[in-house]
Structure 1
């Protein structure tokens, strides 16, 4: 779902950041992955204009035409992605930095941090060329480690998180230079925009305070944003027309500016990734809304937003919804596929197995980070309860159907008994023939279900007194014949009772086998999910390791040996982390395999006990 117009996502009310519930409601309707592009920069530098271009509109985000800042807080515009039909493009236009009327640097820092946390591509917009003043204005980057935590408790003994942990979830970085009038060159050589950016990020050799201040923002950008891009824009029109920019058509703008804007949009559309959390967790609109609320709540409570805590909150909300979605899918499919009563119990068990497998797949698709299998257990308990409900419904349908059919089939027998048709010499033989016909007709009734034998057994029990009375009054039989007939009737009753017990035993076997298959299927899906999540986490770490290795090579090439030590420590930590993750993954899989074997053994023991109890009844 797209929002037709921009809407305030995070309100800035007297320095307090508040999530707009109406905007969050819109996000909950977006089930597609979201590509989130946020723009930051000094106020009145044309940020909103670029975002409107990305939305394919001339108007939308407020541009304003005076020196007064227009955008307050963070505004959101959700539009269909122009190149990825299965994604939604979420544009975040932020309050301008350095607004003299506001004069609140802390508030600016939090908005900057939120834009970093929420986006998959972060655009920093500034005027003119990259000089020391432009770098000084980016001091917010150097403060990110004070505004954001990756983990609730750092792993490192020094209590400091290294930049590798930030890189794993920070967005790609795009620097847009506006109203550039100078040529981009160094040492008399023309530079591309990207070369110009990299040249501007070179560090100074030296350890003086001045050198450290010069290097700090550059070092932070290099560390936190290894994937960088730069775009240069010429002035869009004559200065007198700039106040009417949103009213101007492309043919009224500078042709070079139009081309530059098109190149910028094309890059964003093709290169910006879906918002993804560590482990390859794709963020859709609903998940983005949870992140917004979690981060804003943390800031409002005076704590530092923590990615680990946010992901935990997100996982709990997402997994609870996944349990409900999967359980509802199970019930819907069972209702669609089941025809009650089922002819045999196995028919219901087969449908249950297929629906349970689908429900598990739904849960696996929509859940993540269920490391303790807490929500998996909730789902299995819920499905087991709903299966039991379908079992009872099936038994009730079978019972009702069988009793109704048997009542109709035995009507003639009851009438004959009432009118004394069997109170004659040879009446017992006539009674047995009439009852046999009822049994034969009952056997021919289709889809009687799981209560078929039990219902007929109860019918036979109800006839015991009647048969004894008819047998005693039958003058055609001698006393010894009557005794033999009575013994024969008891034997037949015992055989019928044994048949019912055997049917119950067979159903128990079928239930146990179905449960064993269910455990195997569940374990298989858990292992597959775990392997995918671990592969994604390892891929993240290996990507960061590759970026760090390239950064190290660049520092060595620049002759900045003193900057290499920290980076080497980070690389070593990443390598150790990768090794530990692989060992942990191996242990988890071994545990799951052992658990599956244990469950199967437990089932066999339970099954054996069921058999023994059934045998004792025989």
Structure 2
């Protein structure tokens, strides 16, 4: 199998702080085969020792075999890819992505999409602190287009409570920017589903269970005194995610669970589990179902690999100093991400306009005319910044919007100095060319005059 897991966020063994391996991140997301393609990021998150990496390897296999009907391959072959095991010790620390992005042709858009698969360490369990859990889960939700929330047996109230920070942030963000949900798709994947007689395994049964859990089927809360907080959480989740889904998975089979030599080969698994793996994985990765990662800066456009690199760098920088992942800090971070992205777009607007008047024919212009053009294009760039920045209308709440706007204006002035130098250089070249032409003309006239004088001299009687 080509490719391997690459650690992009690691935990320092001494300080216990999470650190970004930017070189590793760039090595995957800035590969030539990613380029400017839109990206789809599918991540799996959830508690320690619940089979996240095991599940992801089926996604790897689907992509490697390009989603062919027999994508599971030889049923006697061990399951390879992200490191996994059946023991008590966790295998994933930090965040990993697959080293080779997969290119899939998205039928609905007619474009190639770079698919990134992400594995995360256990969260919201006895092995991981609440701070670390929230840190990892937040980065997972914010960078992925689809997050698979891996749960065991059922969707419990604690599982929803773990999402409280994100639902609070998402609900407030929707009110502030009034355009889109804070997060994209969240799939509750219930492993070892405990009640198949009541609700059958699969997507249809999962949707019924999810509606019950979210209180959309008319059930009353068991404890009326908690109904307000209970309902606020559920309403916040609905406001925070573009799409909420649920899939109920059967047990892998008790043979594999008790076999110390179990290595994930399909013929060791319960036939019912294999049946649902065949149904679940295409729901996430089939060409007609790919969910593109939404750009944080360019409204209505998909994100690129380069944007994801900038986003993750910003996230890590914001929380590097030990800040807690709270609704307010998440909002501040997203305002910074959007502002930086809008700034890049605005700079491109300015530079493209200035290049169009200075570089095509290499001619200079009067300094006053250049200044006039500069001021006009600067206004256009600032207008583009405010138009593209989803937080521009909330600048009173987010000072970073104004700070980045000031930074943009300073950068434009610095770029103008460069364009002034280019214009001066063009003017000097024009003057030198004119001087050469004058000299050449003078020489030509002198030579012609001398020739005429000679003719006159020799013809004189």
Range into which the TM-score falls when normalised by the shorter chain: 0.5 to 0.7
The unaligned stretches of length 5 or more in structure 1 are 152-160, 346-352, 427-618
On the 8 A contact 2:182/2:241 being kept in 1, the answer is: no
Deviation at 1:411, TM superposition (A): 1.6
Give per-residue Cα distances to partners, 1:284-308, cap 9 Å, x unaligned: 1111111111111111234423211
For residues 25 and 166 of structure 1, the distance between their equivalents in structure 2, rounded to whole angstroms, comes to 30
Q: Which of the numbers 413, 417, 420 marks the counterpart of 2:449? A: 413
| CA shift in 2, pair 1:245/1:31, >3 Å | farther
Structure 1: how far apart are the matches of 2:113 and 2:87?
36
Q: How many residues align?
A: 385
The reply to whether residue 267 of structure 1 matches residue 280 of structure 2 is: no
2:46 is the alignment partner of 1:41: yes
SS of residue matched to 2:9: strand
Match of 1:229 in 2: 245
Query: 2:113 is matched with which residue?
Result: 87
Deviation, structure 1 residue 386: 3.8
Task: Report the Cα distance in structure 2 between the residues aligned to 1:185 and 1:401, rounded to whole angstroms.
Answer: 93
Q: 211, 219, 222: which one pairs with 1:198?
A: 211
| Aligned with residue 298 of structure 1, among 318, 338, 346 | 318
Note the alpha carbon deviations across 1:449-500, whole angstroms, 9 max, x for none.
Answer: xxxxxxxxxxxxxxxxxxxxxxxxxxxxxxxxxxxxxxxxxxxxxxxxxxxx
For each residue in 1:159-188, what CA deviation from the matched residue of structure 2 results, as whole angstroms up to 9, or x when unmatched?
Answer: xx85986952312111111122531536xx
Q: CA deviation at 1:253?
A: 3.3
Relative distance call for 1:145 and 1:251 in structure 2 (3 A) is closer
Q: Deviations over 1:217-255 (max 9, x none)?
A: 544433323521111222234443677898444444333
What aligned pairs does 1:25-424 form with structure 2 within 5 A after superposition? 25-26=26-27, 27-29=29-31, 30-56=35-61, 58-77=79-98, 79-84=101-106, 86-102=112-128, 104-130=129-155, 134-144=156-166, 162=175, 168-183=181-196, 185=198, 192-202=205-215, 204-205=220-221, 208-212=224-228, 214-215=230-231, 217-225=233-241, 227-240=243-256, 247-269=263-285, 270-277=289-296, 279-303=299-323, 304-305=329-330, 306=332, 307-317=334-344, 319-320=346-347, 334=360, 368-369=388-389, 374=409, 386=422, 389-390=425-426, 392-397=428-433, 399-401=435-437, 403-404=439-440, 407-408=443-444, 410-414=446-450
Q: Name the SS of the counterpart of 1:221 in structure 2.
A: helix
Task: Look up the match of 2:402.
Answer: none
Structure 1 distance, partners of 2:300, 2:190, is 32
Worse-superposed segment, 367-376 or 170-179: 367-376
Matched residue of 1:75: which SS? strand
Q: Which moved more, 1:216-225 or 1:176-185?
A: 216-225
Contact map agreement 1:184 1:196 (CA 8 A) in 2: no
Distance 2:416 2:267 in 1: 63
TM-score normalised per structure 2: 0.68
Structure 2 CA distance, aligned partners of 1:396 and 1:245? Answer: 82
C-alpha deviation, 1:95, in angstroms: 1.0
- Larger CA deviation: 231-240 vs 199-208: 199-208
User: What's the secondary structure of 2:104's corresponding residue?
Assistant: coil
Contact 1:179–1:233, Cα closer than 8 Å, also in 2: yes
In 2, Cα distance between equivalents of 1:66 and 1:52: 17
With over 3 angstroms needed to count, the CA separation of the structure-2 counterparts of 1:97 and 1:51, relative to structure 1, is: same
Q: Offset at 1:389?
A: 3.9
Larger radius of gyration: 1
* 1-structure distance, mates of 2:455, 2:23: 80
| Structure-2 separation of matches of 1:219 and 1:42 | 24
Deviations 1:378-428 (A, max 9, x none): 7777667645644543553454356336524632423666x79679999xx
- CA offset digits 1:92-122 (Å, max 9, x no partner): 21111245344x1121112112212222222
- Provide, for residues 542-594 of structure 1, a one-character-per-residue CA deviation record: whole Å limited to 9, x for no partner: xxxxxxxxxxxxxxxxxxxxxxxxxxxxxxxxxxxxxxxxxxxxxxxxxxxxx
SS in 1 for 2:45: strand
Q: Is the 8 A contact 1:150 1:165 kept in 2?
A: no
TM-score, normalising length: structure 1:
0.52
Secondary structure of the 1:87 match is strand
Q: CA RMSD in A?
A: 4.5
**C-alpha distance in 1, partners of 2:262/2:344?**
41
The corresponding residue for 1:544 is: none
Matches within 5 A, 1:447-596: none
- Within 5 A, what are the aligned runs for 1:4-19? 4-13=3-12, 14-19=15-20
Stretches of structure 2 that go unaligned for 5 or more consecutive residues are 65-78, 324-328, 366-372, 393-404
